[in-house]
Structures are given as C-alpha cells and as structure tokens.
A and B are shown apart, each in its own frame.
Chain A
C-alpha cells in the first residue's frame, strides 16, 4: 500500500450537546488501509464513523476526505433502523446497493441484474433471492447488507460492529469479503470489539478511548497495558464539565 492518505483527521473533536465523545484526534488513514477501530463501550468508535459519514458535524477540528463526498462512502451503521417486516425481497433490497448507477428512475437492465446475482452469490445467498427480508435469520440478513455494500462499490467502506450476533461461519465469510476489499485497494475501517479477530485479520489498529490511546501496527497497539489504559480512560459523562481550553492552548503555542 502506498502512503497516499485517504483520510486526515486534524485535532478532531466530535460530540453531542457540546460534550466531546471523540476528543482531539489527529492522524491519517492511508489509501487501501485495513484499519480496526477498537475501544471500550463509550470510546467514541461509532461517533467517529458517523463523523466520517458527515452525519454529525465536528465540534472542533476538521476531517479531510480528499475530495470524497459522503455518497462515495459505503457505511454499515451499528444501530440499523431497517423495518424487517417491510414487504420487499432479498433481491430488491440488495439491488438498492446500485443506487449510484440506477438513481431514482433508471430500471435494472440485464447487466445490473447480473451484478446483483453475483453479489448474492459472493455472499452465498443466491437461493434466498426471492424471499421477503422478514423471513431471514440474523446472519442471513447481515449477508444481505454486505451484498448491498459490495454493490455500492465504494473506495471507502465503514463498518460499525459488523459481526454482532452473527455465527462463526458467517463471520469467517464476511472477513473473507473484507480481505477481498482490502486486496482491491479499498480503504476499510471497522469498529470491532473482538480483540483476537482484530489481531488475526487487521494490519493496523486505532485504539480509542475518546482520545487516541495508540494508533499504528495492530500487534504493537493491542498490548495488555494499552488495553487497560483504554478501559480507564473512558471517563464519565460530566454534566457540569468546564469548557475545554486545550485547542486554544495548541493555537497559542503554534502561532499561525
């Protein structure tokens, strides 16, 4: 992988109602990098991904996506508010991954239909194509969502806890797909909680506990000492927290 950056975070602070959930994060993600986002609950992993998607605006600092708009990013959120009782087939649901090609009006031509079938085949669920999504198991539905991500064909893919409540076989298949994206030179960032999974499959890791605990080569980041530090660093939500002055101090030290 080259060192061309795909994402640059500059002293980024993200949060809700002025309380920071991601605090003064600075760093770069290279193009084609396979980055695991690790940290205890409340560390700001989901918040950081939402920030990258543009769903929440930075309280401070900046995100540089080097010209990528949020429509060029494929995103699998953690809290999926999909109505599983909605009467739509697996095929139609997956085909929505082609949105950038078909948009609001265009129909699915033969090529597009083959792409959808290929994506379903890649996830091993072609035989479910005509089932309503309400008839699927949790693991099968996760495969549908991954088939849709596959069709989105994006340079940057953000996955928020993609393996929750999925069995080992499904996890193995989905990791294969993520490795394939990595081999194709796509940038993939995945928030994960299974440390062994991360050690086995992800080259680089960002260990987050609101602030960066460590960021770099997975094996050097995920030490027992760092993990303990991360657990302790997630402070309580302070109702009466004072105004953070750190940003201003930085500015004073580096006159523009």
Chain B
C-alpha cells in the first residue's frame, strides 16, 4: 500500500517534479483564495484566469513555447485587466464586478483570436490545460519563487487586508493603506494564477486557489486557521490527484481539481463548522 503511494515518485523524475511544483503552488495560491472568498470575490479569480490568456498568447507568439515569455505576457495582461477594472470601478458608477466582466471578456476574446490566427490547436490546449508532468527547472523555480514572494507580501499586508475584507470603512478612516493593500492583493492574485497556469492551465489554475479555500470554511474558525487548512487541503488534493492520474491514466490537472472538488463536497456534508450533517442530527441545546 505504502509502496503504491511512493513508487511512482521514486521511479520517475517527472512525478517528483510535478509533486514539488504542486506543493509550491499549494503554499502560494490557497491563502490568496481564502481572501478572495472572504471578500466575496471568488468568481473574480475565474475572470482573472481568462484575462491572462491574451498575454500568454502574445508571449507565445514572440517567444515560442517559452515559459518566461508566456508568464510575463500573462502577468502583464492579468495586471492590466485588474488595474483597469479597479480604476473604472473607483472613478465611475460601475461596480468592480461589472467593469471586470467587461475587461476580461475583451481580453479573453483577444486571446482566443491571437491563438487561433497564429497558433495551432495543440498550443491552445497547452495554455488552457497546462502540462504539470513536463515542468522543467525554469518552471519549478518560477512557481517556487512566486510562492515565496506571495507569502512574504501576504505577511506584510495581512492586517490591512483582513481589515479591508471586513470593515473597509474603518481602514480608510485610520490609514492610507487601503488603496495600496488592494493593489498588492490584485498583483498577488495575478501572480499566483500565472504560477498555476504552468501546471494546471489557465482554466484550472483558479481551482487550486479557490477549492481548498472554500473547503477550509467548513473546518476552521479564524483567518489563520482557514489559511492553514486550505494549504493542507491543497497538498492532499495535489498528492491524491497525481497518484490518481498515474494509476488510471487520466489527465493530471483535471484529476487534481476533481479530487479537490470531492474534498469540498465531503467537507460540505460532514464539516465540523456548518456541515450539512449537523442539520440532520438533533443535539440538545446548551444552558447558555
């Protein structure tokens, strides 16, 4: 049994690389997902993952299947859309979700246009679905580097970010940190999506960010607990998904996200905090 769990990693370097890459991703992205969820911006992650596409496509056109070119392109496109949406929301009557929808749809259409005019279908599939079993050194360094930077920045902006989530009015009344905090947070969202799309593709990168975070809501009581549980859930889903795809020969990216989804459904059913099961069992009420 233990053998079955370790043997693929002992035997194949690409499995070890995939595991290291996914673990790095699992440290960086889920905490961002926790804050997206707490700010009721869960779907913003999905929109942003689409916004990255044209940048990655332009990177691909200029640099071929070069990791750095595609990442840089994706980062620039994602950031441009996030900033433009934020700017329009703060200076016009549009709410942030509406202005983001407008910009990301334009960005997505542009991306599909570029890829279909200039690339082949195979390239499009790589960008959309990722290649976690073909992570080279450069990709691993990029993913690990982004996870490191992401955690460091998150530690620095932690307090204003928490306050911005639950009482933005108060934060604005005591500090000028509100704007810069929001901006840095958007940068972190884009960075982690870029990091995820190497392994899981632009469509599923957001999965490893959000599913563990949403799962954690059924287990943890405070923000630090949510972050810890989300990271552990992402670890578990990465490992289980990799093994599942190894033994059943299904694509790795979807396998990882599906395992994560199973974890979510189980947590929703039996989670210690508000799982459905607690509505079924009748527990006697307390004295006070």
Contacts and interface: CB of A to CB of B under 8 A. Distances in A.
Interface of A: 53, 70-71, 73, 75, 77, 80-83, 86-89, 92-93, 96, 99-100, 102-105, 132, 148, 152
Contact of B162 (A88, A99, A102): A88
A171 to B, nearest CB: 23
Contact of A83 (B160, B166, B175): B166
22 contacts: A71-B174, A73-B173, A80-B169, A83-B38, A83-B165, A86-B38, A86-B166, A87-B38, A87-B221, A88-B222, A88-B223, A93-B166, A96-B170, A102-B159, A103-B175, A104-B156, A104-B157, A104-B159, A104-B160, A104-B175, A104-B177, A105-B156
A103 B156 CA distance: 11
Contacts of B221: 87, 132
A164 B170 CA distance: 19
A82 B166 contact: yes
Closest 5 pairs (CB-CB, A-B) = A86-B166, A99-B174, A83-B166, A82-B167, A87-B222
Nearest to B175: A99
B177 A87 contact: no
Contacts of A77: 169
A126 B214 CA distance: 32
B64 interface: no
User: Which residue, of A75, A92, A99, has the highest number of chain B Cβ atoms within 10 A?
Assistant: A99
B168 interface: yes
A93 B168 CA distance: 13
B163 interface: yes
B157 A86 contact: no
A71 B170 CA distance: 10
A104 B226 CA distance: 21
B226 A87 contact: yes
B163 A96 contact: yes
Contacts of A70: 173
A96 B168 CA distance: 12
Contacts of A92: 222
Contact of A71 (B165, B175, B222): B175
Nearest to A106: B159
Contact of A75 (B157, B159, B173, B225): B173
Interface string B162-190: 11011111100111010000000000000
User: Which residue, of B174, B175, B221, has the highest number of chain A Cβ atoms within 10 A?
Assistant: B174
Contacts of A88: 162, 166, 222-223
Contacts of A100: 174
Nearest to B159: A104
B220 interface: yes
Contacts of B157: 104
Contact of B222 (A73, A89, A99): A89
Nearest to A148: B170
Nearest to A87: B222
A124 B157 CA distance: 32
A34 B185 CA distance: 41
Nearest to B273: A87
Nearest to A100: B174
Interface string B88-124: 0000000000000000000000000000000000000
B151 to A, nearest CB: 16
A83 B168 CA distance: 10
Contacts of A71: 173-175
Contacts of A82: 166-167, 169-170
Contacts of B162: 88
